[in-house]
Amino acid sequence: MRMATDQNPVALYRVPSRRIDDHIRDLCAKVAHSDGNDYEPTLSELKAALREHADRLRKMAVHSLAKKAAPFKDRRKS
């Protein structure tokens, strides 16, 4: 369990990457159709899923850019 910035406990569930978009859509629908204050646990789970998705995208971008980068050549003479 990890504490969010608002100090509410957030359970982090690992969702396979091909399904993370569907999971986020489902959580959005749950929050949108919630009555009163019962949306907060779902909103916390949604925030965690969005952070996980952003982290995955960031890692994919870094990996992609690293593959395209020219190899480093040391121009100094020893």
Q: Are 46 and 31 in contact (CB under 8 A)?
A: yes
Q: Are 24 and 5 in contact (CB under 8 A)?
A: no
Split at pLDDT 50, 70, 90, the class of 27 is: very high
Split at pLDDT 50, 70, 90, the class of 6 is: very low
Does 77 or 40 have the greater pLDDT score? Answer: 40
Split at pLDDT 50, 70, 90, the class of 58 is: very high
In whole angstroms, what separates CA 16 from the centre of its chain? 12
Q: Full-prediction pTM beyond 0.85? A: no
Residues 6+ apart with CB under 8 A from 28: 46
- pLDDT at position 9 over 70: no
